[in-house]
Structure 1
Amino acid sequence: MEVATLEAEIAEVLKDIKSLQQEIDPLNEQYETLCEELKVVEESIGKSEVNKVIQTEHAGSKAHNYDDTIPPLVQHNHFDDSIAKFFTESFQNNPKELTTHEPTKKKQKLSEFSYNLLEKSTETAEIKENILYENIFRFGGVTAFPINNTLFKDDDEILGIRFDVFSHFTKKFLAPHYIILKKLESNTKSATSVSKKWFVYRHTIPVYISLKEYDHFLVNEEDIDLGLRKFVYSLRDHLIQIQYKHDQFDALSQLSMGSIKNNDTQDPVFAKIDKDLECNRVILHITDENNPKQLTHEIELMCTNNICQSVTVRLTGNKSDQFERQINLIESILTDIELKTIKNKMIKALSVMVDELMI
């Protein structure tokens, strides 16, 4: 009786095994087919790009978030006709065609899954290519950006301009500044005719830069395109000059006591560097190690766009005649110097302070 029961159970198990095998065989065939199709896709677009798309598919919710650090895509064809020639005229004449490659013969051989994979990969490559082109144009510092036309009337002439400024200290681009220009009717010098001129409609330029200094380029220049060019690049030069000053003084924060005293001390020379937004007034704080209260010497500099115009030195400790002479010497070293020489001149001034045991 027990033998018969065991035989029945064995027969049932064998039956289950056969049933599972029948289910596995088609799956194996489907797997092999997909592998062959994937191999065809890899040969068409490159294995590395396929892997990226597969990883993106597994990521799920962020399938189209290629890189949070990449700026939004702005294609070159958004440039307004009145300013496009100021950037890359040759590109306008010979734009690069960006099309989706749809294989014909191969498409018939691939399953719907494989073709969708190829299509997504091609789309990803084209988007990245567009972003690279945009970033190349942004290297120039001035580009146009698309305007939401639904906010304006159909006959309004609107132009968006973006300013990109690079920090040579951080090796990064700063947050862009934007200006939206709008064409409005303006009386000409003859007062007998009316023409349209560009006017600033909205902007994100820092408040310490007066746009009135540059408006005359837009209003008074007879050649509208030339006036626009002068306005844009004069304003950009101002932004660059301000950032240049910030970079020069930020570089001073990396000076160490060891570089001044010729030893291995890595302590920074400046305890703090205070700057106004336009970097016209800068105060350098130097820790007085000889003072038990750890007070700081101060070197205050008043700067123009590229000149350190005047210097005031305030030293802690006794105000002896010797101190006064050293103050005058330090001020003479740093007064009326070009900002590009500020680091070398500052090291020379600090060396005087070291020789006199001030720091």
Structure 2
Amino acid sequence: MQSAEELEQDIESLKREISSLSQKGDKLKAQKFEKECSELSNHPVVKEFESVFNKFPKLYEILAKENRIIETNDNNTSDEPSEADLSFVKRRKLETGDSTFEHRMFDKSIADLFVDASPSTSPSKRRNKLQNYKGLESQVSIENAYRLFGITFFPLVDPSDINFEDNNIDRKMLGIRLEVFNERLRQFEKPHYILLKQKVKSNSWSLFKHTIPIFVDLESIFQKIDGGIITTLNQVYLFAKQVYIQLLFVSQRMQLLERLQDVKLISNLEIDLQVAAVNFNIQEVKRVRLFLRDDQIISCSTSDSDDNLKVLLLGPVRELELKLSRLVSN
């Protein structure tokens, strides 16, 4: 039987081992986070936002000012953001890595409209509240402005989760709206929706229903966000952004190919739902088959086994129009 001194030594040894494992775990998490940030910094969508902010600095000032107002009201601090905040990628690090930052799904000025979800509140009372709410029209305009960025959230209630006995809602729900802007048509495409519901015995979110196309592996994307244990609104936002990027890639590929057909660079276009396997004719003579992934052409084959053309067409999708233009002109 161990003496008290030996037992105390074992406990201290165990504590040191736990501390060492915790430090190693924190180090691995930090390395993983830095890797994700590095990958995101080179992402076309991020670069596009950086380009927008560089061209329209006033837009960034307005958004940054709004964030400062929210943080001042909630945290009672007057600290100004550092110069590092001028980088879109560094601001992303703040949003995900700084524990003092909290992602907010709804603007504070309209959040009170969503709080009262009590099943005992009659529709007439809710209607009167909306009618008496001054400035509602301007707040709707703000919501529409947020929707221009493609990812918005809305509250909802599943009637089956209403507990009439204690006048409460058993499980919270959150709706995600994803809207991709089609530059070719100058309008937003049909929106996609994802509904999340909190689990009964925990505060983690789970996938409930969605309208995302089957070729987007929603479950896989969900599991990649901290192993599918999503409890914070920051994690929900990161999940929504990853899904949005997948939808954006598909739309951009479709837009490019349709434009190539409009300007007569290709003809007899055939594509699959994912816009991953593409067939078309060049100058009504040569048949080309491409395989696309994200924003890259990863494989090419031709009807006459033209190796030079295969090599030429591989690479970024956005360069395809220029390459075909030079090919046709020659």
Give the TM interval when normalised to the shorter protein. Answer: 0.5 to 0.7
- Asked whether 1:168 is paired with 2:183, we answer yes
CA contact 1:198–1:218 (8 Å) conserved in 2: no
What's 1:73 paired with? none
How many residue pairs end up in the alignment? 205
Q: CA deviation at 1:205?
A: 0.4
CA contact 2:204–2:231 (8 Å) conserved in 1: no
| Cα separation, 2, equivalents of 1:196 and 1:148 | 16
CA contact 2:104–2:233 (8 Å) conserved in 1: no
Structure 2 counterparts to residues 51-66 of structure 1, below 5 A: none
- The counterpart of 1:138, out of the listed 140, 147, 152, is 147
CA contact 1:245–1:306 (8 Å) conserved in 2: yes
Q: CA deviation at 1:298?
A: 1.2
User: CA-to-partner distance for each residue in 1:134-179, whole Å, 9 max, x for gaps?
Assistant: 2111012111234244343321111111111111111110111011
Q: CA deviation at 1:126?
A: 6.4
Q: TM-score, normalised by structure 1?
A: 0.50
Secondary structure of 2:195's partner? strand
- The counterpart of 2:325, out of the listed 343, 347, 353, is 347
- The counterpart of 1:298, out of the listed 278, 287, 292, is 287
Amino acid of the structure 1 residue aligned with 2:219: K
| Cα separation, 1, equivalents of 2:227 and 2:174 | 16
What's 1:243 paired with? 251
Compared with structure 1, are the counterparts of its residues 150 and 97 closer, same or farther at alpha carbon in structure 2 (3 Å cutoff)? closer
Secondary structure of 1:209's partner? coil
- The counterpart of 1:156, out of the listed 160, 167, 171, is 171
What's 1:277 paired with? 273
- Asked whether 1:234 is paired with 2:224, we answer no
| Cα separation, 1, equivalents of 2:140 and 2:233 | 28
CA contact 1:165–1:239 (8 Å) conserved in 2: yes
- The counterpart of 2:216, out of the listed 209, 213, 216, is 209
User: CA-to-partner distance for each residue in 1:9-56, whole Å, 9 max, x for gaps?
Assistant: xxxxxxxxxxxxxxxxxxxxxxxxxxxxxxxxxxxxxxxxxxxxxxxx
| Cα separation, 2, equivalents of 1:201 and 1:224 | 17
| Cα separation, 1, equivalents of 2:148 and 2:220 | 25
| Cα separation, 2, equivalents of 1:160 and 1:251 | 33
Which blocks of at least 5 consecutive residues in structure 1 are unaligned?
1-84, 99-121, 186-193, 256-267, 289-295, 316-323, 353-359
Structure 2 counterparts to residues 86-235 of structure 1, below 5 A: 86=103, 91-92=107-108, 129-153=138-162, 154-185=169-200, 195-216=202-223, 217=225, 219-221=227-229, 224-235=232-243
| Cα separation, 1, equivalents of 2:250 and 2:276 | 9
> Which has the larger Rg?
1
Compared with structure 1, are the counterparts of its residues 222 and 88 closer, same or farther at alpha carbon in structure 2 (3 Å cutoff)? closer
Moved more, 268-277 or 142-151: 142-151
| Cα separation, 2, equivalents of 1:214 and 1:309 | 22
CA contact 2:280–2:288 (8 Å) conserved in 1: yes
Structure 2 counterparts to residues 25-104 of structure 1, below 5 A: 86=103, 91-92=107-108
CA contact 2:203–2:231 (8 Å) conserved in 1: no
Secondary structure of 1:208's partner? coil
| Cα separation, 1, equivalents of 2:236 and 2:176 | 11
CA contact 2:195–2:207 (8 Å) conserved in 1: yes
Q: CA deviation at 1:237?
A: 1.2
- Asked whether 1:329 is paired with 2:308, we answer yes
What's 1:254 paired with? 262
CA contact 1:182–1:198 (8 Å) conserved in 2: yes
| Cα separation, 1, equivalents of 2:326 and 2:197 | 51
The CA RMSD over aligned residues, in Å, is 3.2
CA contact 2:205–2:231 (8 Å) conserved in 1: no
Compared with structure 1, are the counterparts of its residues 312 and 345 closer, same or farther at alpha carbon in structure 2 (3 Å cutoff)? same
| Cα separation, 2, equivalents of 1:343 and 1:299 | 14
Which blocks of at least 5 consecutive residues in structure 2 are unaligned?
1-101, 114-130, 163-168
Amino acid of the structure 2 residue aligned with 1:312: S
User: CA-to-partner distance for each residue in 1:191-247, whole Å, 9 max, x for gaps?
Assistant: xxx633101111100011111212222654575333222211111111111111112
Q: TM-score, normalised by structure 2?
A: 0.54
Q: What is the percentage of aligned positions where both structures have the same residue? A: 20
Amino acid of the structure 2 residue aligned with 1:238: Q
Compared with structure 1, are the counterparts of its residues 146 and 221 closer, same or farther at alpha carbon in structure 2 (3 Å cutoff)? closer
